[in-house]
Amino acid sequence: MAQLSWAANNKGQTATLNISANKVVLSQKHGSTEYRGKVRIRHAGMQLYAQRASTKGKTNGKPQRVRAWGNPLTVTNKTTKGAVYIKAQQADYLTSKSLLVLSGKVSIDYAGDHFGSERIYYHPPSGRLWSGDSAQPVRAQIKLKKEKRTAP
């Protein structure tokens, strides 16, 4: 298992971006790295599992964007509100913003609620989720679960 790590700085906080896979191919000519087979990406408590991934846009040797593909890929993250479980076909992780842009049959379970859309944005440090943007409207579906209440 091949592995690469970088210290990523986000708003004064340093967290290690760690990517491991069965196969890693570095291309200095194109400034990219390709990962294939059992890809695992870890950064600041978030874990992403995919079949393949690539990095591009390095600044000071650190990737600015990590793109991952899976059928599906999965993301897990623990927050103060509970665990987040995500499934999608593709994810773009913008490391400098700690922003995950998920697309393709996105399904999220978060704090007992379920979210689904073709594109969802997720900011792991804050736990904030939103869907679509002004350039490309996206249909989203949110299902809220009712809590069972017991008599006092």
pLDDT in tens, 13-31: 556 788 999 999 888 777 7
Question: 143 or 85: which carries more pLDDT confidence?
Answer: 85
Domain boundaries, the chain: 2-143
Q: Return all residues near 138 (Cβ < 8 A) that are at least 6 apart.
A: 117, 118, 119, 131, 132
- What is the percentage of the chain residues whose pLDDT exceeds 70? 72
Q: Which two tokens stand for residue 54?
A: 């690539």
Fold exhibited by the domain 2-143: lipopolysaccharide transport protein A fold (2.60.450)
Q: What is the pLDDT of residues 72-120, one digit of tens each?
A: 999 998 877 788 899 999 999 988 888 999 999 999 998 788 888 899 9
